[in-house]
Amino acid sequence: MKNKRALVLVWAALVLCISACSQAGSIWAKRNKNMKDLYADDVAHEIGDVLTIKITEDSKIDNKAKRDLKKETDKSSNFDGELGITTPGHNLLPRMPGFTMEAESTNELKSKADYKDERSFVDRVTVVVMDVLPNGNLVVMGTRDRDIGGDTQTIEISGIVRPSDIAFDNSVKSEQVANFHIASRNGGVSAPYTKPGWLGRVFDVLWPF
């Protein structure tokens, strides 16, 4: 009886071992293409890959111009009445009355101009790789649309990204993007309040100063 029970346990252990071995995969087995490689990264490098651009654009303009021009002219002329047309001992023409003429002129111009403009734009936009140049640089393009409470905003991004500038989190700063182009258009409820009306534009044309 004991021998029979021992034989059953041996057979059960053998069956479990064979089953486990049949389900175990080899370390050299071909991996599924959809499975991520252990040492792979998510950095964009092919057409269709996505890339996040961190937009941190700050512009500051402070132009000052000052001009001070001045010109003075002083001219005088004297005429004694002698025309200088003579023969030996005689004047062919009579003496004319002499006169003195003086003229002064002054031209002065003073001007001053001061122009200041400060703008800041911070955002994150994910773009798509549209092309890969022969040197490996990536041509990217993307848009982002927002509609919040009837106010719409459309951001368009395009440029050329160097793969070595892409960070480990698959992002790149906007100042590292060559030929960087950004266009932001706002519309919706608040748009009419941020633009001058048609009558104001007419007056700007008629009286631009």
Look at residue 165 and tell me whether its pLDDT is greater than 90: yes
The reported pLDDT for the residue numbered 173 is: 93
The reported pLDDT for the residue numbered 42 is: 73
Instruction: Output the CA angle 91-94-96, nearest 5 degrees.
Output: 130
**Average pLDDT, integer, range 33-62:** 76
What the block records as the tokens of 102 is: 């003086």
Name, in order, each residue with C-beta under 8 angstroms of 11's C-beta and a sequence gap of 6 or more. none
37 pLDDT band, cuts 50/70/90, is low
Name residue 44's amino acid.
A
**Average pLDDT, integer, range 27-48:** 63
* Strand pairing category for 50-79 and 171-173: parallel
The reported pLDDT for the residue numbered 28 is: 47
Look at residue 93 and tell me whether its pLDDT is greater than 80: no
* Strand pairing category for 178-188 and 171-173: unpaired
Going from N- to C-terminal start, the domains of the chain cover 50-62+119-206, 64-114
Give the range among 26-30, 112-116, 153-157 with minimum mean pLDDT: 26-30
Higher pLDDT, 40 or 187: 187
Look at residue 40 and tell me whether its pLDDT is greater than 60: no
Look at residue 3 and tell me whether its pLDDT is greater than 70: no
Task: Kindly report the number of other CB atoms within 10 A of residue 188's CB atom.
Answer: 14
Query: What confidence tens digit (pLDDT) does each residue in 127-150 have?
Result: 999 999 999 999 999 998 888 877
Question: 151-155, 156-160, 192-196, 205-209: which has the highest mean pLDDT?
Answer: 156-160
**Average pLDDT, integer, range 11-33:** 54
36 pLDDT band, cuts 50/70/90, is low
Name residue 157's amino acid.
I
The reported pLDDT for the residue numbered 67 is: 82
**Average pLDDT, integer, range 9-30:** 55
11 pLDDT band, cuts 50/70/90, is low
H or E element in which residue 81 lies: none
Beta-ladder partners of 104? 74
